[in-house]
Amino acid sequence: MTDAKDAFGRTLSRRRLLGMGALAGMGVAGFSACGGGSSGGPGAGTGGGGGAQGGGAVTWASWANPGEAVRFKEYSADYQKRTGTKTTYQTVVGDYTAKLLTQLQGGSAADAFYVGDTGMAKLQESNNLVELTEFLGTPDGKKASETFPGLVDWTKSEDGGIYGVCVDCNPMVFWFNKGLLAEAGVTTDPAAAFEGGTWTRDALDDLLTKVKATGKRGYVHMASYGDLFGLVTALGGTMIEDNKAVFDEDPKAQEIIGWLFDSIENGNISYGGSLPKGQSSDALFLASQLATTHQGRWILPNLKKI
């Protein structure tokens, strides 16, 4: 068994790691010490302290799919209307963390921005983020003590300073295309089967085999720890126990991982890294070429459109 570590090499407890790894789409708002707006960080000037004083300007940025980008712009317009603070939203495309680091070093970063769980340590090391511990103790601050510890710890530096507040956390869940399931002859509603206790790996296997026979893809497994943790845990395996990674010794976890490789080999599951350039699991799902996808709630705005 091996110790589970965070980005700084600190040992993670089971509770803390599950709070980080079994959830996906986690984002925190980080604040630049040299942002492009006039707020200068939370509580300074008129932009970052909740807009109570009105006026000023603030910029914020994040990654986003088209549906999220629309919602973020709507939020910005509403915030500007409520506070009188000129609010500008920017979507960062491409290598997100690398672009943020470049902007921070050049003094052109937004005042606030999303930070993914894998990028927090690098951004802290740039020495261009605002340390939020003192601010979080004020009436305007979102108190860290009111947030689940697993969603706060990974925002901390080695010396315990807090550099972000959690704004987004949601579990990885299966979404199904009912039309493709019907086309494949799958008569059992997976959600109903789950509620009834009959949604098993055999049921999933049956679904994937039937979808494969139609020429469509059943499931695309992406190469991320969130996808692997979620899949193994959902099917009854154990990834972490008593501060140790035990998936290499847990018989059920090993069985599930073996099944995953076998399913990729026989074509029931596609490996995300082998998809043609420009394809992704969410794009295939939205195009009705994929029967089920493993995503967080971020896919919902685009699903509503179709």
Higher pLDDT, residue 297 or 186: 186
Contacts of 138 (CB under 8 A, 6+ apart): 43
Fill in the DSSP letter of residue 151: G
pLDDT band at 54 (very low <50, low <70, confident <90, very high): low
pLDDT band at 151 (very low <50, low <70, confident <90, very high): confident
Please provide residue 297's backbone torsions phi and psi, each rounded to the nearest 5 degrees: -70, -5
What type of residue is 45?
Answer: G
Q: How far apart are CA 177 and CA 289, in angstroms?
A: 9
pLDDT for the residue numbered 215? 95
pTM of this structure: 0.65
Residue 301's SS3 state is helix
Indicate the helix (H) or strand (E) that contains 182: helix 178-183
What angle do helix axes 251-266 and 225-234 make, rounded to 10 degrees?
Answer: 110
pLDDT band at 210 (very low <50, low <70, confident <90, very high): very high
Scanning the structure block, which residue is given the tokens 């919902």?
A: 300
Q: What is the pLDDT of residues 27-49, one digit of tens each?
A: 555 665 544 444 444 443 333 33
Q: What is the pLDDT of residues 239-281, one digit of tens each?
A: 988 878 899 999 999 999 999 999 999 999 999 988 888 788 8
Lay out the sheet containing 244-245: strands in order across.
2-3, 244-245, 240-241
Contacts of 165 (CB under 8 A, 6+ apart): 28, 29, 132, 136, 142, 144, 147, 155
pLDDT band at 299 (very low <50, low <70, confident <90, very high): confident
Range 100-112 average pLDDT: 89
pLDDT for the residue numbered 204? 93
Fill in the DSSP letter of residue 272: G
